[in-house]
């Protein structure tokens, strides 16, 4: 019989993790997409297909604008421990 399946998952938690993946296959044809929240604030999405002998074809897109906040030095100082 022909391979056939579908799956998906997603994570979006209080720690800032935001990623997921979904895929479906019917015979030799596979299509899917996955995404991840990047450290610079953008969301990276990869949409892909696999059609038999044609191989893996991916399209990568980004949502949002990269954010690089200004450096804020810590006001707390703690001397390095000394031993001996």
Closest-CA residue to 67 (of 34, 45, 43): 43
Indicate whether 16 pLDDT > 90: no
- 80 or 61, which is more confident? 61
Contact 40, 30 (CB under 8 A): no
Q: Is pLDDT of 18 > 80?
A: yes
Task: Give the Cα-Cα-Cα angle 34, 37, 42 (nearest 5 degrees).
Answer: 110
In this prediction, residue 74 carries a pLDDT of 76
Instruction: Please give the model's pTM, rounded to 2 decimal places.
Output: 0.74
The number of beta carbons lying within 10 Å of the beta carbon of residue 61 is: 11
**25 vs 71, higher pLDDT:** 25
């Amino acid at each position: 019989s022909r391979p056939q399946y579908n799956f998906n998952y997603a994570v979006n938690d209080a720690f800032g993790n935001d990623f997921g993946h979904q895929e479906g296959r019917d015979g030799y044809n596979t299509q899917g997409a996955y995404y991840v929240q990047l450290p610079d604030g953008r969301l990276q999405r990869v949409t892909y297909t696999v059609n038999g002998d044609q191989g893996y074809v991916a399209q990568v897109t980004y949502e949002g604008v990269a954010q690089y906040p200004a450096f804020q030095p810590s006001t707390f100082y703690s001397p390095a421990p000394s031993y001996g």
